[in-house]
Every structure is written in structure tokens, then in C-alpha cells.
Amino acid sequence: MHGEKSSSLAVMISIAIVGGLWYGYAQNLLGVRAYVEKNYLPKQPKNAYDLAYDPNDTYAELRNMKDLELPATSNKDIVVKHLAYTLSYNEDHEQANWVAYRLESKNLDGKTKRNSDFRPDPAIQQRSALPDDYKASGYDRGHLAPSGDFKFSAQANSETFLMSNISPQVHAFNEGVWRALEEALRDWVRKDKIYYIVTGPVLQGKLKKIGKQNKVSVPDYYFKIVLCLEKEPKAIAFLMKNEASDAPLKSFVTSIDKIEELTGIDFFPALPDELEDKLESNIIVTQWFKK
């Protein structure tokens, strides 16, 4: 019996020794793997959209950041998210303070057709303006986020006709320089790949009102701000008077800081402070216009 106990004890000791050696070996392997991953393998971005990631791309993580295009908001703001754009609604003026979205080159060639289904926005709890508020007013139901930017999806395109995305525009303005700017951005983004756009009316001062059921303010000015983070970051802002104009688009360029001053809106708060300050204060027209 004594010999059997000794034999069993020896076996148990051997198993323990082998197990300890194996555990140490496994831990060493894990350590080596961690060291190799940390020092030799390229880091992957958080929330990357695809596998084509360049570890030397400084702005990849910014581009992949959710809601990068959104201005700063407070608990008092009525913020509504639709499929492809987000807006902040202003009950006092019965239209959006701003509409923000991403314009991507890969989405430009969709086949969805414009349906002109203007209708109230059911997501606005206190009710949005109505199509009839514009009837016989002398103003177009002008898009803030244009239908032409959302041909990739029937739902996204249809939602651009919600009245929360509409503002009273002089017809010659809506079909003139405003439309020309929308088309220019679609042309430019084919090269730049993706834009972060914020657009809206300047709802300041004593404004004319239209509408019978709802009092819709008629803005004197509109803005459109564009951020691009491909290669070297760049941004441009446009401030346009709600009137007919034959002036070239570059004549409407201003700084983002100027529009922040006019509207009280803080644009692109998610950007690093130094980059935000640089992009919002500078006006570099040559980054966008060839001549």
C-alpha cells in the first residue's frame, strides 16, 4: 500500500510540474503575441467602415466618428434624426435652425426620382409647418438639405420633403445661386469623397412671416458650411442673401466664425480645438475654386 501511495503522489507531482510548465509557456506566448501586435502590426481604427485603413492617415478616426457633422446642442433644442440627415427645429420660426448630413461621392449616382411629397414632419411633437402655409405666399418651399443629395435611397430622398427641412425662399434664389451651390458641392465631392455639411437659415432680427395656420419666418440670409477631412483638412462657408443674384459662388464665401457669430451656433464641436479654430477662422478660396 505504501508503494502505491508513493507512486500516486509521484504522478500527481509530475502532472503539477508539467501543468505549471505549460501554463508558463502559454503565458509567454501570449506576451510575445501582445508585444508583436503592439510594436509591429498596424493599428486598426475604431468603428472603421472598411478594411482599407492606412495607419498613417491622421484623420481616419475623425472621419469615422459618429455625428461629426452635428453642431453643439442643448437639452432645450428640438433635435430630430431622420435616415440620412439630422436637424434642429425652431418652433418660433417654424423651420430648422440647421440641417446636418454627410454627402458621399459613392451615393451620388442613385436612381431614386424626386417625388415632391411635401408634408408635415411627424417627428416634431409640437407640429411642423404645413405645405399650405406657403400657398400663395410668393415664396418657394426651398430645401435646406437638397433632394438631389439623397438619390441613393427612396426613404432618404422622400424625407427631404418633410416641412422641417423646408424654408421660404425667393424663387429666383432657390432656382439660382442656391441651386448652383448645391450642384457645385456634388461636383466637388466626387474628388473629395465625403463632405460634412451643415446648412440653414439665419433666424435673427425682425423677419417677415407667412402662413395662416403657422407663422413661418422668411429668412433674409441662408448659410451652407462644408468640412472635408480627406488628406489635408479644409472647410468653406457660404452666406447668401435670399434674393436673385448673378454673382459667382466665390463671392458668397465667408468664415465659419462669421456664421457662428450671426447664428449663435457652434459648428463642428467634435473637432480638436486647434484644428477647429484654424478651419473656422481661415478663408482659403483657392482650396475649392480653381481660379
Give catalytic residue positions. Answer: 143
Q: 259 Cβ partners below 8 Å, 6+ apart?
A: 202, 223, 225, 237, 239, 265, 267
The whole-angstrom separation of Cα 104 and Cα 84 is 11
Q: Which of 262, 209, 274, 203 is nearest to 237 (CA)?
A: 262
Q: Let me know if 206 is exposed, middle or buried by CB neighbors in 10 A (0-12, 13-18, 19+).
A: exposed
The whole-angstrom separation of Cα 218 and Cα 181 is 20
- List, as one string, the DSSP characters of 38-75: HHTSPPPPTT-SSS---TT-TTHHHHTSTTTTPPP--T
Q: 203 Cβ partners below 8 Å, 6+ apart?
A: 90, 92, 93, 95, 97, 217, 219, 263
Taking each helix axis as running N to C, give the angle between helix 256-263 and helix 273-281, from 0 to 180 degrees, rounded to the nearest 10. Answer: 90
Coil, strand, or helix at residue 90?
strand
